[in-house]
Structure 1
Amino acid sequence: MAKQARQGRNSEGRMSLGQHLVELRKRLMYAAIAIAVGLVAGWFLSPMVWEILRKPIESLGEQGREAMITYGDITGAFDTKVQISLFIAVLLASPVWLYQIWAFLAPGLTRREKLYGVGFLGAAVPLFLGGAYAGWMVLPNIVRLMASFQPDQDAFFLNARSYLDFAIKLLLAVGIGFVMPVLLVLLNFIGVVRGQSILKSWRVAILLIILFAGIATPAADLMSMFLLAAPMVVLYFLAAGVAVLHDRRVDKRTAKEFAEYGLDEFNDNSRTEGAA
């Protein structure tokens, strides 16, 4: 297969549109197989995951509130189990489908860009899991806050499907939010944005982070919003610091190369660009 792909390329190593479509179909098939295998594992793991996700509701019952999860129709329990299994499958198969995306894009990248991409994937996975964990940490606070608006004599019944959708969206949103600083570093390493530009935009970045945390958590729950926003702000400034250090190293290396050819004015130009 690989031999045929190499033979189908032209002298410049490029592939035709048809060959790109064949390659895309192959990568999608591998990703689908990995998710299908993960779905089987997720089916057996779903009771444990569901037990963890429903703990905030059970904690309300332990505090004397009448709270429970309900199923609105006869297929509700089955649909919930399938949804949890699919969520687990996507997480378990993430190394495979992320690699398939990378394998599809890698032929068009330089060797240095490939190394940057590998580093991005290596950092993105633990940060995404850390963000999902942060979302899980604030989930009980959100549930307690929302339940506090109901009178004590009223029962707190939640539809299983609605609650699961809310919990999964929260975990995914916070996980993706934690990955964004790594994306900024990747864009800096491949020359799309400079570190000084990232650093100078800190006011806008903090505002966007606060808005994101406010959307992900109820506006009245300031503690949960702070627990989400604080690590994201720290990650943003770490990303800006890494980008600035990388730019300095690149500028020094480039200035040295220009100096060898008698173009010392590069230093002045680079300072002007950095100030801009």
Structure 2
Amino acid sequence: MSQQDMTIYEHLEEVRKRLIIVIVFFFIAAIGGLFLAKPIIQYLQHADEAAALTMNAFRVTDPLKVYFQMAFVIGLVLTSPVLLYQLWAFVSPGLHERERRVTLSYIPASILLFLGGLSFSYFVLFPYIIHFMMKLSGDLNIEQVIGINEYFHFLFQTTIPFGFLFQLPVITLFLTRLGIVTPQLLGQIRRYAYFVLLVIAALITPPDIMSFAIVSVPLFLLYEVSVWISRIGYKKAQQTEALTAENEEKSAQ
């Protein structure tokens, strides 16, 4: 086996080990989520957004399905810091010492942004959608019969994507520090990025202009914040490279 093949094999082996760590931790977190699922489901059922709704189970297995879905989501949220750390640990050997410290600080920022995305979608977007749908049903003289499985499925479908979308600034900064993305590139693809964000907003909102605006405007702001942060990260990366090159030149002399 050549040295290059050995290096590729070692990288694949490291990826496998880190994936195993993440998967094992997820199973442990999901098991813990089984104990947390019941009080969280009960809280969400009695929150203001659902207080006026009567939850129904249309199939015998619906309560069990919701219970396990909630445990899965809890496990996913609890595993996200471990996943981010394993990703950082995999790429950190190729970074300078200062870059390793800086990128490690992205993990708590990423978690806060994920929770911020969930909070925004649950406390701002989700209530508006529910009220809109209830008002539309009243205008059409339709009596809403809410299935608990459908309700929580719609809740997860609306909130969880925002947790990941709010990661955009951190992901952009991380890719910028790795040299994969530049602020110039982000500026050039802005119109295409806006189009993709509009499609995402259309997919996760009901067909009314207010819901579409509530979703699309924050996504545009997130992208512009990402471009701004990328400029800062790119400038600091260039300064670090210049300082490193200067130190190496002094050492060589």
Structure 2 matches for 1:1-276, cutoff 5 A?
A: 15=7, 17=9, 19-20=10-11, 22-54=13-45, 55=47, 58-59=50-51, 61=52, 67-103=53-89, 105-106=90-91, 109-111=94-96, 114-115=100-101, 117-137=103-123, 138-151=125-138, 153-222=141-210, 224-248=211-235
- Secondary structure in 1 aligned to 2:54? strand
Q: Which amino acid aligns with 1:211?
A: V
Whole-Å separation in 2 of the counterparts to 1:24 and 1:249 = 29
Aligned length: 240
Quote the offset at 1:192 in angstroms: 2.1
Q: Which amino acid aligns with 2:165?
A: G
Matched-pair contact (CA < 8 Å) for 1:131–1:171:
yes
Q: Which amino acid aligns with 1:135?
A: S
Quote the offset at 1:82 in angstroms: 1.2
- Secondary structure in 1 aligned to 2:27? helix
Alpha carbons of structure 1 residues 87 and 250: separation in structure 2 relative to 1, 3 Å = closer
TM-score (norm 2): 0.77
Whole-Å separation in 2 of the counterparts to 1:99 and 1:255 = 28
Quote the offset at 1:108 in angstroms: 5.7
Matched-pair contact (CA < 8 Å) for 1:142–1:218:
yes
Matched-pair contact (CA < 8 Å) for 2:173–2:233:
no
Q: Which amino acid aligns with 1:233?
A: F
Any stretches of 5+ residues in structure 2 without a counterpart? none
Quote the offset at 1:146 in angstroms: 1.8
Alpha carbons of structure 1 residues 52 and 203: separation in structure 2 relative to 1, 3 Å = farther
- Secondary structure in 1 aligned to 2:163? helix
Quote the offset at 1:81 in angstroms: 0.7
- Secondary structure in 2 aligned to 1:156? coil
- Secondary structure in 2 aligned to 1:192? coil
- Secondary structure in 1 aligned to 2:55? strand
Aligned CA-pair RMSD: 3.2
Quote the offset at 1:247 in angstroms: 3.8
Matched-pair contact (CA < 8 Å) for 2:197–2:219:
yes
Q: Which amino acid aligns with 1:142?
A: I
Whole-Å separation in 2 of the counterparts to 1:98 and 1:197 = 25
Whole-Å separation in 2 of the counterparts to 1:200 and 1:20 = 33
Aligned-residue sequence identity (percent) comes to 22
Whole-Å separation in 2 of the counterparts to 1:253 and 1:23 = 28
Name which one, 1 or 2, has greater alpha-carbon Rg.
1
Matched-pair contact (CA < 8 Å) for 2:177–2:237:
no
Q: Which residue of 2 aligns with 1:7?
A: none
Quote the offset at 1:83 in angstroms: 1.2
Whole-Å separation in 2 of the counterparts to 1:100 and 1:166 = 31
